[in-house]
Every structure is written in C-alpha cells, then in structure tokens.
C-alpha cells in the first residue's frame, strides 16, 4: 500500500513539473521562490504561489493546472483577515528597486524576475495603489494582458503624478509568460515614458 501511494505521488509530481517546464520555468528557480504543489486537501491539484512581505508568508494563490477546475482558489478573507485586494505579489521589490514592472499574474511576475510585482488582476485596489505610490520606486512599467490595455492606461494616469510611468502594449492574445522574458524586455525598451496628456489621449483611443 505505501508503494502505491509513493508511485501515485511521483506521477503527480511529474505532471506538475511537466506543465511548469512547458511554461518556460526551471524547477530549481521555482523552488527558490517557494512555489510548490498540493496532492491532497483543499488545494489538491493546484500549484501554490506564495506571497511574501518582509520575508514573511502573508498570502497565496492556488492555481489549477488541470482543465475543468476553477483557475484560482485563494484563501478566504476571513481566514487571514484580508483578501487579494490587500496584498501584492513580490511586495518587497517596491523597496529594493528604483524601477519595477507591474503585471497581472504571479506567473507573469515569475517570468520577468525579481523587479516585477503582480497585482492579481486588471485593476488595482485603492490599497494597492497607495502601496505603490508611497514606495520609493521612481519608475514603473505597466504590462497588463492585451485585453486590459485601457485599464493599463487608466492605472498609468493614477500613478503619473507620483512616478515616471510607461505602458507596454502586448501582442494580441499574448501575455508576458506566453512571449517570454527576452521578448518582453524588448517591448519594455521600446516603450517610452509618458506624460499626462499622452496618457489621456491613449485612454480616449482605447475606450
């Protein structure tokens, strides 16, 4: 019986590793970031993406890898005392770098690296915006999925009074993880920092 369980877990692990490798990740890199997976319990069949603040675990995303499951199953607000709008993935990077990237998902943040934070959606909560504004970061690159280009420029408008801001327009139907780090960096370098008038014009164009 123990052999059967052991064999099952090894096969389960191979599935998770194969899926993550197909998304361009090295398992050793994900291990350093605390990424793991569950084979039983509430989050069975999900990759666990931990959120840290000051080196302390404060939240997590439980992302499904099998079709048919709800994409994310996150802790309930009553479990932790706060919900996903009151956390930021890789919060510490706001205090370690002068230039940071803001993306939607943890997978996209992991793809780009240590100077990238994820907000868990297309729009930021007032709490998340406040955290970014009061951080010492000087320049921000907003890289949302292509279907959130309007939201990206609206966010830029909120941040431009306080930070240098630019927006990366992603190829149709693609995100950071899909095109990869090198291609995304190329798009970042080709995207200029914007003033308020330019941002307003972009908002009018994409409405």
- Distance CA(128)–CA(89), nearest Å, equals 10
**What is the pLDDT, as a whole number, of residue 5?**
46
pLDDT in tens, the chain (207 residues): 344 445 556 677 788 888 889 889 999 999 999 998 887 788 888 899 999 999 899 999 998 877 667 888 888 888 887 888 899 999 999 999 999 999 999 999 999 999 999 998 899 999 999 999 999 999 999 999 999 999 999 999 999 999 999 999 999 999 999 999 999 999 999 999 999 999 999 999 998
The answer to whether the CB of 184 falls within 8 A of the CB of 115 is no
| Six-digit token string for 54 | 């000051």
- Distance CA(116)–CA(110), nearest Å, equals 8
The answer to whether the CB of 116 falls within 8 A of the CB of 103 is yes
> Facing residues of 37 across strands?
47
CA distances from 127 to 24, 77, 84, 164, 187 (A): 32, 15, 11, 20, 29
- Distance CA(60)–CA(89), nearest Å, equals 9
The answer to whether the CB of 188 falls within 8 A of the CB of 101 is yes
Cα Rg of the chain (Å, integer): 18
**What is the pLDDT, as a whole number, of residue 176?**
95
Strand 36-38 and strand 46-53: the pairing is antiparallel
The answer to whether the CB of 35 falls within 8 A of the CB of 49 is yes
**Predicted structure pTM score:** 0.90
């Amino acid at each position: 019986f123990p052999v059967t369980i052991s064999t099952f877990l090894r096969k389960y692990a191979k599935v998770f590793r194969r899926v993550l490798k197909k998304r361009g990740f090295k398992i050793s890199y994900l291990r350093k970031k605390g990424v793991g997976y569950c084979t039983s319990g509430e989050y069975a069949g999900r990759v666990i993406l931990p959120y840290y603040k000051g080196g302390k675990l404060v939240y997590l995303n439980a992302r499904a890898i099998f079709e048919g499951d709800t994409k994310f199953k996150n802790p309930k607000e009553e479990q932790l005392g706060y919900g996903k709008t009151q956390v930021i993935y890789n919060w510490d990077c706001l205090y370690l770098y002068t230039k940071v990237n803001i993306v939607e998902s943890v997978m996209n943040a992991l793809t780009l690296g240590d100077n990238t934070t994820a907000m868990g959606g297309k729009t930021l909560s007032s709490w998340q915006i406040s955290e970014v504004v009061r951080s010492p970061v000087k320049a921000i690159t907003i890289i949302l999925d292509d279907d959130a280009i309007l939201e990206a420029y609206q966010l830029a408008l909120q941040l431009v009074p306080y930070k240098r801001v630019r927006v990366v327009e992603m190829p149709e139907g693609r995100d950071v993880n899909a095109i990869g780090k090198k291609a995304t960096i190329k798009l970042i370098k080709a995207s200029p920092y914007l003033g308020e008038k330019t941002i307003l014009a972009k908002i009018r164009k994409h409405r």
